[in-house]
Amino acid sequence: LDPQAQPLNEEEMARLALGLRTRLQNDAGNVEGWLMLGRIGMVLGNAGTATGAYANAYRLDPKNSDAALGYAEALTRSSDPEDNRRGGELLRRLVSRDHTDIRVLSLYAFNAFEQQRFGEAVAAWEMMLKLLPAGDARRAVIERSIRLAQEK
């Protein structure tokens, strides 16, 4: 992929997703392909594609942090309460496996906040503050989020 290239528009991404899905029918063990299809599904707002693709990537390589986090994010964004529950469980496992991964902590905190588990959200955000350098721009957003959760 060329970092200097123009970003794809929605129609081009949809065509890329279709081509990738077709290719994955013949190469179902391609974790990177499933991850890319999951990302495209998220960008296009296609929950079914994203969830299915990330589920395949995670099933093929459960230790792959991108697959696990992508799958957890797709599940937590689903309109299905059972998906949300499974996504939350996966996030809790990911946090217990590595409580220093900023991406995992961030998704876990926002998911906990959305589920009105404010104490868990605050704990995750406080852990993030310990890990981020002093000048990091994300600190202000996290501090506001903590205050908001503590008011609930």
- 143 belongs to a structural domain: yes
- 89 belongs to a structural domain: no
Q: What is the pTM of this model?
A: 0.85
Domain count across the chain = 2
pLDDT tens by residue, 93-150: 999 998 899 999 999 999 999 989 999 999 999 999 999 999 999 999 999 999 999 9
- 92 belongs to a structural domain: no
pLDDT at 4: 79
pLDDT at 1: 58
For residues 50 and 109, state if they share a domain.
Answer: no
pLDDT at 2: 67
For residues 2 and 59, state if they share a domain.
Answer: yes
Neighbour tally for 113: CB within 10 Å: 19
3-state secondary structure of 124: helix
The DSSP output letter for 78 is: S
For residues 47 and 2, state if they share a domain.
Answer: yes
Q: Taking a C-beta distance cutoff of 8 angstroms, is the pair 142, 128 a contact?
A: yes
Q: Of 83, 107, 140, which residue sits at a domain end?
A: 83
For residues 59 and 120, state if they share a domain.
Answer: no
**Closest alpha carbon to 66 in 107, 26, 29, 96:** 107
- 135 belongs to a structural domain: yes
pLDDT tens by residue, 67-106: 999 999 999 998 899 998 999 999 999 999 988 999 999 9
**Average pLDDT score over the chain:** 93
For residues 57 and 110, state if they share a domain.
Answer: no
pLDDT higher at 55 or 13: 55
pLDDT at 141: 96
Phi, then psi, of 106 in degrees rounded to 5: -65, -50
pLDDT tens by residue, 9-40: 888 889 989 999 999 999 999 999 999 999 99
Residues spanned by the domain of 45: 1-83
- 91 belongs to a structural domain: no
For residues 13 and 47, state if they share a domain.
Answer: yes
Q: What is the DSSP string of 2-23?
A: -TTSPPP-HHHHHHHHHHHHHH
* Residue type at position 86: R
| Predicted confidence (pLDDT) at residue 48 exceeds the cutoff of 70 | yes
Helices (H), the chain: 10-26, 31-44, 47-60, 65-77, 81-97, 102-114, 118-131, 138-151
pLDDT at 146: 97
